[in-house]
Amino acid sequence: MPVRIFAIPFVSEKGCFFDEEVNNFCLNKKVRKMETYFFQSDGKPYWTILIEYNEVLKDEKTPDVNLDEPEKLLYQRFKEWRKNKAEADGVPVYIIATNSEIMELIKRTPKSLEALRSIRGFGKKKIEKYGKEIIDIINNFYPDKK
List the pLDDT tens digit at each of the 146 positions of the chain.
789 999 999 988 888 888 888 888 888 788 889 999 999 999 999 999 999 988 775 444 333 457 888 888 899 899 999 999 999 999 889 899 998 899 999 989 999 999 999 999 999 999 999 999 999 999 988 877 65
Contact by Cβ (8 Å): 82, 94: no
Q: Is this prediction's pTM over 0.75?
A: no
Asked if 45 and 56 touch (Cβ cutoff 8 Å), the reply is: no
pLDDT value of residue 69: 82
Separation of alpha carbons 138 and 122, rounded Å: 15
- Would you say 62 and 68 are in contact if contact means Cβ atoms under 8 Å apart? yes
What confidence score (pLDDT) does residue 146 get?
52
Task: Tell me the β-bridge partners of 47.
Answer: 8, 38
Q: Which CATH class is domain 69-145?
A: mainly alpha
Give pLDDT, residue 134: 95
Where in the chain are the domains? 3-55, 69-145
